[in-house]
Amino acid sequence: MLGPSVRRPLGTLSLLLSATLLAACGSLNPSSPQAPLPPSLNAPAASPGATARTGQVAVKVLAINDFHGNLMPPAGGIKLPDPQDPDKTITLEAGGAERLATIVAQLKAKNPHHVFVAAGDLVGASPLLSALFHDEPTIESLGLMGLDLSAVGNHEFDQGLDELLRKQRGGCHPKDGCKGPTEFRGSKYQYLAASTIDTRTGQPVLPAYAIKRFDGVPVGFIGLTLKGTSELVSPTGIRGLRFEDEADTVNRLIPELERQGARAVVVLIHEGGTPTGGINDCPGISGPIVDIVRKLDKRVGLVVSGHTHRAYNCRIDGRLVTSGDKYGTLITEIDLTLDRASGTMLEARANNVVVRPETDKDPRQTLLINSYQHLAQPLIDRPVGFLAKALGKDGADLDEGGGTTMGQLVADAMLAATRAPASGGAQMAFTNIGGVRTGLIHRPDDRVTYGDLFAALPFSNAVVVVEMTGAQLQRVLEEQWRARGGQSGEYWLPLQLSQGFSYRWDKRQPIGSRVVPGSMALDGQSIAPDQTLRVAVNSFLQAGGDGFRTLKETRLVQTGPVDVDALEAYFKARGTARVQPTPLDRAVRVDR
């Protein structure tokens, strides 16, 4: 999903680790420097099994995307059609690495010719159980369940290229050292990054593709990061990198794959679309993936996509295009038929399988997760306050004006943390919707934990106060709506506003002119174009993240706490009082 990336190490969290945790870590040296990986990777042949050789080879591809370190079933589960009333939905507690691993094993058992792949964002924006250990538990978990290949998503760059390479190769974290119960040996699966280029060498920073052979028939797998990664990641995380056009990259590699005998091609891409219909339907789909697929060489028969956190099973331009929702709630089971003589792909069909709560747990995953849980659980369970009602973040919880109850709470907490001193403190605050990863569940006892807050704000961004004019503020608001840049349609990244600030907007107007003139107000007073304002934002936005370029022109006047700490302070300041959702009336759409 569109969102920011972590801009700094989890420094404040590291300070919270107990001496017991540190003592359990051991003392491992960082991995020694390694030579750059080649731009291609030839994987070992798949086992032919006991099937008879025929004119065709059946291959099973299992796929996930946007796992984001959700080792445990994510809060909120997955929404599915109600079997009793298809017009309604039910929420199912789906996901969790223990159950996902069981289903992976069951599906692999159906066909000895199989491969397990992913479309990126396996790590980053993760719950505390994984993030506290720099996502090492997730990488170990996915390796344990047999993941083979993955595209690199934008969140794999959350801590920069060096950290991504450490995750691939292993070794202790360069600042925090070894925090886990065992030595971190890196990922057993291979990351692919065909379109992510080191500007110094002109080469991909990781292998561009892999070739796997199934009963002797080679299949090429190309992995891609979305072209728009530079707008989603802090500049410090991607310095020295460029992200090339997805379709052009694939089409350039096709002849190279063909020279190596691979005439069937699968694309793993961290980019996606917005579908209509259910998890296995596709009466319609829009978004960047549509235009990308239409430009691909016809030898690409399967596209495994992600990024938008949606589930779909589509045919676009005659190819199968899939996505498996998010957080491990689904796994996509794909069956390919290859022609043995020509090596081409004859057929591709898919089914999104729900990781249901009644699935047996894989005991190896349970053992792995428990080894990290006993170190992290005291921090995860630490009480911070009380909540009167669940707070939503997106989907049905997104107001037509652009506000969400969770987003407004975060903005209010940012304002409270930076309002003093009166002479230089913030007068208002806003945050990007992608920086708020989830809402807050409501428990029967109203209790809220630090783990809940961290799941919503996992990036550990500083809250900063910048100075801007009213004219600049209006330009920032206009940057919420963007054309797709050579692709059809537009997209919307609604800012979440603090109490006291409001404006109105009109979608009937062209992009760049949607804020109703004179509608911006602070505490009921109209904001003039030449008025100077002090605004609290997160450090990602202040650096121009999510494409809010005008914020790079503002003047930094104050640095406050990390956003999750500001939210914790907001709850603690209320003692036993229950935090209530606020009315969604700060950004108002007037064309409805």
User: Would you state the pLDDT for residue 412?
Assistant: 98
**Cβ of 174: how many Cβ atoms within 10 Å?**
11
- 78 has which bridge partners? 92
- Which among 160, 164, 154, 173 has a CA at the least distance from the CA of 22? 173
In three-state secondary structure terms, 154 is helix
In three-state secondary structure terms, 553 is helix
Return the ∠ at Cα 155 (arms to 281 and 228), rounded to 5°.
75
In three-state secondary structure terms, 582 is coil
Distance CA 373, CA 514 (A): 48
Q: How far from 536 is each of 301, 456, 474, 514, CA to CA, in Å?
A: 48, 18, 15, 23
Q: Which two tokens stand for residue 483?
A: 């054309």
Are 269 and 224 within 8 A, CB to CB? Answer: yes
User: Would you state the pLDDT for residue 46?
Assistant: 41
- For residue 516, the Cα-to-chain-centroid distance in whole angstroms is 33
Are 511 and 523 within 8 A, CB to CB? Answer: no
Rounded to the nearest 5°, which phi and psi values hold at 29? -80, 150
Residue-range domains of the chain with CATH: 43-363 (3.60.21.10), 382-589 (3.90.780.10)
The model carries a pTM of 0.88
User: Would you state the pLDDT for residue 487?
Assistant: 61
Distance CA 401, CA 399 (A): 5
Mean pLDDT by 10 residues, the chain (592 residues): 37 38 34 36 40 82 98 93 88 97 98 98 97 98 98 96 98 94 96 98 98 98 96 89 98 98 98 94 94 97 97 97 98 98 98 98 98 96 97 87 97 96 85 95 97 96 97 98 77 96 97 98 97 97 94 95 98 98 97 87
User: Would you state the pLDDT for residue 18?
Assistant: 37
User: Would you state the pLDDT for residue 421?
Assistant: 73
User: Would you state the pLDDT for residue 87?
Assistant: 83
Q: Which residues contact 161 (CB under 8 A, 6 or more apart)?
A: 205, 237, 238, 240, 241
User: Would you state the pLDDT for residue 20?
Assistant: 35
- Which among 498, 458, 463, 505 has a CA at the least distance from the CA of 480? 505
User: Would you state the pLDDT for residue 74?
Assistant: 94
